[in-house]
Amino acid sequence: MNARPVIGVLALQGGVAEHLTALERAGAVARPVRRPEELAEVHGIVLPGGESTTMSRLLDAFELTEPLRARLAAGLPAYGSCAGMVLLAREVQDDRAVRPLGALDVVVRRNAFGRQVDSFETDLDVREVGRVRGVFIRAPWVESAGPAVEVLATAGHPEVPDASAPAAPAGRIVAVRQARVLATAFHPELVGGDERVHRHFVQTVRAR
Ligand SMILES: NC(=O)CC[C@H](N)C(=O)O
């Protein structure tokens, strides 16, 4: 792999610009992806935050769903933040508005942390990355994960009792990796000056 891998950011909706900036700073050549031809040229793909239902519909409208599914199945490294995590999942709990891509063997719950705390920030320890500032905006959590999935971080919230589940005493699962597919329920691209999560993903793409 060349020194600067080409990494696409799915640019149909959501926080595209922040990921492009973070990827460039992390050592990649970052490009927006809206068309199947653009998808064909990247060594890795980022699915940004936004609205997973809308992105799911737009993936269909732009005829990207099947090409993206196929490349993911063939091992394309991917990183999804927030809505991107929802899209990468195998299953979305109690919600048929999203057709997930099935690249991660997890069941996710959308808007899981509850209405009373649409957004919150907390410091969390992310395995393989370190201690980071977690920015959560109407964030999902991982309800359950298959055996091939590594849990990289958990987080709870003091105002949401249900956010500390018995399965994860320190809170809910909010960062996972399965081989070359990484996902976070939070938004590292919104934390200026800290590109460690993106660097970790760029390393994964390089290693391929
Ligand atoms: N910040 C986000 O990406 C929010 C995700 C959104 N709640 C969804 O489920 O699509």
Residue 1 confidence (pLDDT): 56
Quick check: CB of 83 below 6 Å from ligand 1? yes
Quick check: CB of 92 below 6 Å from ligand 1? no
138 is in an annotated binding site: yes
- ipTM of this predicted complex? 0.96
- Average pLDDT, rounded, for the chain: 93
Q: For residue 182, which of 128, 144, 137 has the smallest C-alpha distance?
A: 128
Residue 5 confidence (pLDDT): 98
50 is in an annotated binding site: yes
What distance in Å separates the CA atoms of residue 72 and residue 78, rounded to the nearest whole number? 8
Q: Which of 55, 79, 86 to mutate to test the pocket of ligand 1 (most atoms within 8 A of CB)?
A: 86
Residue 173 confidence (pLDDT): 95
Average pLDDT over residues 139-168: 82
Q: Retrieve residue 136's tokens.
A: 């959560």
Examine the residue annotation and report whether 37 is marked as an active-site residue of this protein.
no
Catalytic residue among 18, 19, 82, 200: 82
Which element (helix H / strand E) includes 73? Answer: helix 65-73
208 — pLDDT class (breaks 50, 70, 90): confident
Cβ atoms of 149 and 176 within 8 Å: the answer is yes
Q: Retrieve residue 160's tokens.
A: 């949401």
Ligand 1 atom 9: residue of nearest CA: 110
Catalytic residue among 157, 189, 195, 200: 189
Quick check: CB of 50 below 6 Å from ligand 1? yes
79 — pLDDT class (breaks 50, 70, 90): very high
Which element (helix H / strand E) includes 198? Answer: helix 196-207
Task: Quote the distance between the C-alpha of residue 156 and its chain's center.
Answer: 18
44 — pLDDT class (breaks 50, 70, 90): very high
164 is in an annotated binding site: no
Catalytic residue among 157, 187, 198, 200: 187
Average the pLDDT over each of 41-50, 61-70, 92-101 and give the range with the smallest value. Answer: 92-101
Helix axes 65-73, 52-61, angle to 10 degrees: 100
Question: Which SS3 state, helix, strand or coil, does residue 76 take?
Answer: coil
Q: Which of 46, 58, 82 to mutate to test the pocket of ligand 1 (most atoms within 8 A of CB)?
A: 82
Structural domains of the chain ordered from first start: 6-207 (3.40.50.880)
Question: Which SS3 state, helix, strand or coil, does residue 182 take?
Answer: strand
CA of 136 to the centre of ligand 1 (A): 9
Tell me the pLDDT tens digit for each residue of 121-150: 999 999 999 999 999 999 999 999 999 999
Residue 17 confidence (pLDDT): 98
Ligand 1 atom 3: residue of nearest CA: 49
Examine the residue annotation and report whether 66 is marked as an active-site residue of this protein.
no
Residue 200 confidence (pLDDT): 98
20 — phi, psi (to 5°)? -60, -45
Q: Where are the beta strands (DSSP E) in the chain?
A: 6-10, 29-33, 44-47, 78-81, 89-92, 104-109, 119-126, 130-137, 141-145, 150-155, 172-178, 181-184
Average the pLDDT over each of 9-13, 86-90, 191-195 and give the range with the smallest value. Answer: 191-195
**Strand duo 172-178 + 150-155: pairing:** antiparallel
Q: 65 vs 33, 48, 55, 82, CA distance in Å? A: 13, 15, 10, 18
